[in-house]
A and B are shown apart, each in its own frame.
Chain A
Amino acid sequence: MVEIVEHPPVEAQIALDFEALYKRTFPVVAKLVHKWNGSLDDAKDVFHDGLVLLYEKMQDGVQFQTSREAYLVGICKNLWVKKFSKDVAKVALDEIERSIEIPGDFYPTVNTQHLLTMLMSTGKRCLALLEAMYFKGKSVERVAQDLGYSGEHSASVQKYKCLEKMREQIRNKNIAYEDFLE
């Protein structure tokens, strides 16, 4: 479930953070992936997913028992295991790394991908509004300002209208797919 976080880093901060983490941690992950017979593209893939997950965990307020860098390496090892389960033995996970959980829904289902593609083609503005409210910790007031709504009330009404619109779109699409009980 989506959580509203009070003071998460803004997007510019995320970009800076990603760059610092990249410089320090990508070489470590690249060496591991090479050892596991993976390619540079594999390393890139697993590292990018790792960054996303690290961020999610930071926003969820997960307390790391190690440095962020070590935790990121741990996430990448777990992602590798998840992706290529036959290699479990090769990926030596220590106790802390074993305790890192990869969310079961981390990789979207085909249905989710279809729905997202549809929403991205028809509802960009709503997606941007809801992302700002739920994940960037922006106040309704701030979102109203940024996205050009006339006031706090209007942005908050807009939020519920967006949820309503997206619900409708999913309803129509899912009935077309006949799989909404997935």
Chain B
Amino acid sequence: MRTSLNEIRTVERYVDGSLSSLEQLSFERQLKNDPALRLNVFLQRKVYTLLKHYRRKNLKESARAVHDKLFDDPVNAGFKDSILRIFKS
């Protein structure tokens, strides 16, 4: 695997806390002396944050699909009516 990909794998293990204590010490030493690596760690954390939001977006999409199914399918008309009645009172 390319060196840069190995770095990404190490950053991932650093971020999720799965480096051994020895590896972690050595990585933190590297971090201190290497601003480019610091930026890469920052960016990779950002990637994980974005992935979390992407996942949330997809889950919300599933919730919306279930809602539409319950509100548009005549089979579930009883459910729909009971909800609409709540907001009519």
Contacts and interface: CB of A to CB of B under 8 A. Distances in A.
Contacts of B60: 48-49, 51-52
B14 to A, nearest CB: 11
Interface in A97-137: 105-106, 108, 112, 115-116, 119-120, 127, 130-131, 134-135
Contact of B54 (A3, A116, A161): A116
B43 A167 contact: yes
A64 interface: no
Interface stretch (A22-30, A76-84, A138-146): A22-30
A149 interface: no
Query: Main SS of the interface on chain B?
Result: helix
A161 B1 CA distance: 10
Contacts of A44: 67
Given A135-B55, A167-B47, A48 B64 contact: yes
Contacts, number: 117
A170 B8 contact: no
Contact of A30 (B44, B56, B62, B83): B83
B59 A163 contact: no
Interface residues on B, range: 35 or more
B44 A119 contact: no
Main secondary structure of the interface of A (DSSP, over half): helix
Interface in B34-89: 39-40, 42-44, 46-60, 62-67, 69-70, 79, 82-84, 86-87, 89
A94 interface: no
Contacts of A2: 16, 48, 51-52
Interface residues of A, number: 49
Contact of A131 (B17, B49, B58): B58
A62 interface: no
Interface in A1-35: 1-3, 11, 14-15, 18-19, 22-23, 26-27, 30-31, 34
Interface string A154-180: 000100110110110011001000001
Interface of B: 1, 4-5, 8-9, 12, 15-17, 39-40, 42-44, 46-60, 62-67, 69-70, 79, 82-84, 86-87, 89
25 contacts: A1-B16, A2-B16, A18-B66, A19-B69, A26-B83, A27-B86, A30-B87, A34-B86, A34-B87, A51-B63, A52-B59, A105-B52, A112-B53, A115-B46, A116-B53, A131-B51, A131-B54, A134-B55, A160-B1, A160-B9, A167-B40, A170-B43, A170-B46, A174-B46, A180-B42
